[in-house]
Amino acid sequence: MVSLKDSLRELELQAEKFRTAVNSFAATITSMERHLITEDGSADAVRRERFQKLRSALEGEPDVVVLPGVAKAIEGELEAYHRWVAETFGKSGEEIHDILHVVAGLMDVLAAQGGERGDRFETITRDLTAITTLDSLPEIRRRLTGRIRDLKSLVVSMSEENNRLIERLQAEVTKVEKKLAHAENMALTDALTGVANRRYGEQMLVRKLKRAAGFTVVLFDMDGFKLINDRFGHNWGDKVLITFARRLAQQLRSGDRVIRWGGDEFVAVLDCGIQEAEPRAQRLAEGAGGSYQIAAGGQPLKIEVRASWGATESRPGETIEELVARVDAGMYRAKRAKAGLDPTKQTAPAAQ
């Protein structure tokens, strides 16, 4: 006969097992709640409510009949989660296949336009097309990683080649720009004397008049230059013009400019007012003129070169035509007032 003490011990053992089972069920519910709920809208809210009901059923001193129902509920939650996983990954696989089809189509386009790299594009396209037939996501990831690496390498090589092409194009553009700049400079430079020509001078005067900054224009005209051409020829007349322009330019300040206006006329644009410009103009005429040594008929000769000049200061609001007419009139007044001298007259033998 079983003693009462043994019976009580057996009951305590069964009660301990029951409490262990209850605690295990409670821990299982907590773990499922932590891992299965993803805060994904109303579906997770309903699932959380079901877990809370199961946890409440196990609180206190639950009846033993509660455990089978809890176990069945847990099994149902796991089956529902399994269906959700299968459905979700199934959709992901379909999306991955769709993406791969699009990328493969893009590779076809690149292959058609890839030039010498077309074969490499075609190889990548075939591999991507083959990957779309796979069902294993790990295998898709492995093979796709390799193709992406190949594609990156191809793109890098294309980028490097494009950079080299761009550098060559930039070098060609620089050459063209230099040629254009040289051509433009030549178009604005007097071919004989190397100073600015009248076209440049007129453009500069228009800009300065628009800025309304005060400046002075001096017009120089070489006295009797026609006689030099007639007696010694145009070749030596050109040498006189070149020397006159060089002597004139050498005396100018950094803000000034000398221009061959036409024939034997030169303009100096001085960055100062008329009171300062007039004595400067006299010094410029004397410095640019004076004794010139030329060779005529095999006999080295010296000739005296002189120039008449007129000067005028710019006025606010006037046009370039008005400015030029005024300085031109001033130069001719100076020319009429000057005694005529023959610049071709030999004054002294040149040094041998």
Which candidate, 58, 59, 78, places its Cα nearest to that of 68? 58
In a domain, 289, yes or no: yes
The answer as to whether 102 is a domain residue is no
Q: Which residue has the tokens 């006299």?
A: 282
Looking at residue 303, which CATH number applies to its domain?
Answer: 3.30.70.270
Range of the domain at 222: 198-337
Rounded to whole angstroms, the Cα distance separating 305 from 291 reads 6
User: What's the structural domain count of the chain?
Assistant: 1
11 domain-assigned: no
pLDDT value of position 325: 96
pLDDT confidence of residue 92: 53
Q: Give pLDDT, residue 276.
A: 95
Is residue 269 within 8 Å of 279, Cβ to Cβ? Answer: no
Q: What string of H, E and C letters represents the secondary structure of the chain? A: CCCHHHHHHHHHHHHHHHHHHHHHHHHHHHHHHHHHCCCCHHHHHHHHHHHHHHHHHCCCCCCCCHHHHHHHHHHHHHHHHHHHHHHHHHHHHHHHHHHHHHHHHHHHHHHHHCHHHHHHHHHHHHHHHHHCCCCCHHHHHHHHHHHHHHHHHHHHHHHHHHHHHHHHHHHHHHHHHHHHHHHHHHHCECCCCCCECHHHHHHHHHHHHHHCCCCEEEEEEECCHHHHHHHHCHHHHHHHHHHHHHHHHHCCCCCCEEEEEECCEEEEEECCCHHHHHHHHHHHHHHHCEEEEEEECCEEEEEEECEEEEEEECCCCCCHHHHHHHHHHHHHHHHHHCCCCCCCCCCCECCC
CA distance 120 to 113: 12
Radius of gyration of the chain (CA): 51
Write out residues in the chain with pLDDT < 70, as ranges. 1-44, 51, 54, 57-122, 124-125, 127-128, 131-132, 134-138, 141, 144, 147-148, 151-152, 154-155, 158-162, 165-166, 169, 172-177, 179-186, 295-298, 339-352
CA–CA dist 182, 176 (Å, integer): 10
pLDDT value of position 194? 92
The pLDDT of residue 45 = 72
List Cα–Cα distances, 4 to 1, 9, 10, in angstroms: 9, 9, 10
Residue 221 lies in a domain: yes
The answer to the question of residue 313 being in a domain is yes
pLDDT computed for residue 135 by the predictor: 65
Instruction: Report yes or no on 310 lying in a domain.
Output: yes
Q: Given this model, what pLDDT does residue 341 score?
A: 47
Tell me the C-alpha distance between 92 and 139, whole Å: 14
Residue 230 φ then ψ, to 5°: -65, -40
Closest-CA residue to 261 (of 178, 323, 321, 202): 202
Per-residue pLDDT, 344: 46
Q: Is-above-0.85 flag for pTM?
A: no
The answer to whether residues 65 and 84 touch, using CB atoms and an 8 Å cutoff, is no
User: Does residue 127 belong to any structural domain of this protein?
Assistant: no
- The tens digit of pLDDT for each residue in 192-209 reads 999 999 999 999 999 999
On whether residue 211 sits in a domain, the answer given is yes
> Residues with Cβ < 8 Å from 248, sequence gap 6 or more?
195, 220, 258, 266, 268, 284, 287, 288
